Structure 1
Amino acid sequence: MTPEPIQPLPTEPGPIQPLPTRPKPILAVRDIGKSYGAVRALQGVSASVGAGEVLCVLGDNGAGKSTFIKILAGAHPHSEGTLLAFGTERRFTHPREALDLGIATVYQDLAVVGLMPVWRNFFLAAERTRGRGPLRRLDVAGMRATTKRELARMGIDLRDVDQPIGTLSGGERQSVAIARAVYFGAKVVILDEPTSALGVKQAGVVLSYIARARDRGLGVVFITHNPHHAYPVGDRFLLLQRGRSLGDFAKSEITIDEMTALMAGGPELEALAHELERR
Structure 2
Amino acid sequence: MSTQPLLEVRDITKRFGGVTALNGVSMTLFPGEVVALAGDNGAGKSTLIKTISGVYHADMGEIRLNGEAVKFATPEAARGHGIETIYQDLALADNLSIGANIFLGREPMRKAFGFLPVLDRAKMAEAAKETMARLDFHVTRLTAPVGNFSGGQRQAVAIGRAVYWNAQVLIMDEPTAALGVPEQRKVVSLIQTLKAQGRGIIFISHNLQDIFAVSDRIVVLRRGTLAGERKIAETNHDEIVKLMVGG
TM-score, normalisation: structure 1: 0.83
Residue 144 of structure 2 corresponds to which residue in structure 1? 163
**Aligned counterparts, 1:208-227, within 5 A:** 208-227=189-208
- The reply on whether 1:69 has 2:44 as its aligned counterpart is no
Which of 79, 97, 100 lines up with 2:80 in the alignment?
Answer: 100
Residue 159 of structure 2 corresponds to which residue in structure 1? 178
2 CA distance for matches of 1:60 and 1:259?
Answer: 11
Which of 120, 133, 138 lines up with 2:100 in the alignment?
Answer: 120
2 CA distance for matches of 1:201 and 1:23?
Answer: 35
- The reply on whether 1:203 has 2:184 as its aligned counterpart is yes
Are the counterparts in 2 of residues 23 and 51 from structure 1 also a CA contact under 8 Å?
no
Q: Percent identity?
A: 42
After superposition, what is the alpha-carbon deviation per residue over 1:44-65, rounded to whole angstroms, capped at 9, x for unaligned?
2111101111111111211111
| Ranges in structure 1 where 5+ consecutive residues have no aligned partner | 1-20, 268-279
| Ranges in structure 2 where 5+ consecutive residues have no aligned partner | none
Are the counterparts in 2 of residues 118 and 164 from structure 1 also a CA contact under 8 Å?
yes
1 CA distance for matches of 2:169 and 2:203?
Answer: 11
**How far apart are residue 212 of structure 1 and its match?**
0.7
Distance verdict in 2 for CA 1:248–1:219, change over 3 Å: same
Equivalent AA in structure 2 for residue 87 of structure 1: G
Secondary structure of 2:139's partner? coil
When Rg is computed on C-alpha atoms for both structures, the one with the higher figure is: 1
After superposition, what is the alpha-carbon deviation per residue over 1:24-56, rounded to whole angstroms, capped at 9, x for unaligned?
111111221110111101112111101111111
1 CA distance for matches of 2:88 and 2:215?
Answer: 19
After superposition, what is the alpha-carbon deviation per residue over 1:144-189, rounded to whole angstroms, capped at 9, x for unaligned?
1220121012011112111110111111111111111111111111
After superposition, what is the alpha-carbon deviation per residue over 1:87-131, rounded to whole angstroms, capped at 9, x for unaligned?
112232211221111111111121111111222112211211212
2 CA distance for matches of 1:95 and 1:145?
Answer: 27
1 CA distance for matches of 2:107 and 2:76?
Answer: 18
Which of 31, 39, 42 lines up with 1:51 in the alignment?
Answer: 31
